[in-house]
Amino acid sequence: MLSRDEMRRLLLARGPEQEQLFAESRRARNEHFGAAVVLRGVIELTNVCRVNCDYCPMRRDNVRENDTYFLAADKIVELAGLIRDNGIDVILLQGGETPALMPLLEEVIPRIRALYDDRVEILLNVGNLKRAQYERLKAAGATSYILKHETSDPALHLSLRHETLESRLRCMRDLQEVGFKVGTGLISSLPGQSLDSIIDDIELAGELGVDMCSVSPFIPAPNTPMSIAPIGDNELALNVIALLRLRYPQLLIPSVSALERVGSGGQSRGLDAGANVMTVNFSSAADQKRYLIYGKDRFVVTLDHVRGLVRSSGLELGGSRFIEQPLTSGVAA
């Protein structure tokens, strides 16, 4: 196991040392997963959020200024059918944190499962909820859940999200106890974040025993308190991916769109660094413009983009790791 001093050095690796790090992380990924990259299809449900994160344009203080929307149940199911028709068996339902999503999710999850004859992983990313609500979503048929801790530094977490880290971790424990496969994630290059804090993030993923972990470079977004902060360093984010892979070879680690937003080719390098998940956006063009996760100039991932990256990386597209009979027909076409 790498020491903290070794991890601190490798977080700053560049050139030949970085390439060696990436080669070792790819070897660990391939030994555990083979050449398959898990493909997800995301539907963005709403841009309304009750939380007031300083880095997010969809923060509560911006609700009145934003062009807000909620997808109707029939539209969600229609988009899920499109994802199925493209041979993708992981559907990510993602939205701002709002209690208004509960009845919608409880309606659409069983309908989506019926579309797939139950051969589907329904992955949710809708924030902190009460344990009883997680139980209801699990009973409706949800499989997995993403709840990013963002930063493991309690003081920094509170200052940026205006909520406690412990409340986030408590929700993760609830999700695990209810029976979800759970993912977390961190933002690297946050203002005020140290290398030691990032090492704590890496170690936290192991302490939590999660199944998935993402790494996103910080992106300053307009109309937020952090709009003039410096943009994150892709090289640091890529090194975090590689260290996560070496430390926890069994993790699902996505190559996120933020890597491409920070620098062209970023997602390809994410795969080079050891990532093994990619997410295609199936929201309508109009809703993509309203889902202001990084502002209006976000990078929207298409299926053709993913196919090209995976092929050029010598990998292949695959299905869910969390269902017994993955639906993979057509996914690699």
Give me the DSSP letters along 228-277.
TSPPP-HHHHHHHHHHHHHH-TT-B-B--HHHHHHSTTHHHHHHHTT--E
- Smallest Cα–Cα separation from 182: which of 174, 190, 192? 174
Q: Tell me how far apart the alpha carbons of residues 141 and 118 are, in angstroms, rounded to a whole number.
A: 9
Q: Tokens for 49, please give them.
A: 């959020």
Q: Tell me how far apart the alpha carbons of residues 40 and 42 are, in angstroms, rounded to a whole number.
A: 6
Q: 171 among the known binding-site residues?
A: no
Q: 168 among the known binding-site residues?
A: yes
Strands (E) across 131-234 are located at: 144-146, 181-188, 212-217
C-beta neighbour count of 20 within 10 angstroms = 13
C-beta neighbour count of 158 within 10 angstroms = 15
Query: Rounded to an integer, what is the distance from CA 184 to the centroid of its chain?
Result: 8
Q: Tokens for 92, please give them.
A: 């990510």
Q: 247 among the known binding-site residues?
A: no
- Alpha-carbon separation of residue 208 from 43, 183, 226 (angstroms): 27, 10, 29
C-beta neighbour count of 186 within 10 angstroms = 25
Q: 150 among the known binding-site residues?
A: yes
Query: Which residues are within 8 A (CB) of 190 and not within 5 positions of it... i.e. 6 or more apart?
Result: 55, 151, 156, 160, 218, 232
C-beta neighbour count of 34 within 10 angstroms = 12
Q: How many CA atoms lie within 13 A of 317 on its CB side?
A: 27
Q: Tell me how far apart the alpha carbons of residues 73 and 322 are, in angstroms, rounded to a whole number.
A: 25
Q: Which residues are annotated as a binding site for [4Fe-4S] cluster?
A: 49, 53, 56
Binding residue ranges for S-adenosyl-L-methionine: 150, 161, 168
What residues form the annotated binding site?
A: 49, 53, 56, 150, 161, 168, 279
Binding-site members for (3R)-3-methyl-D-ornithine are 279
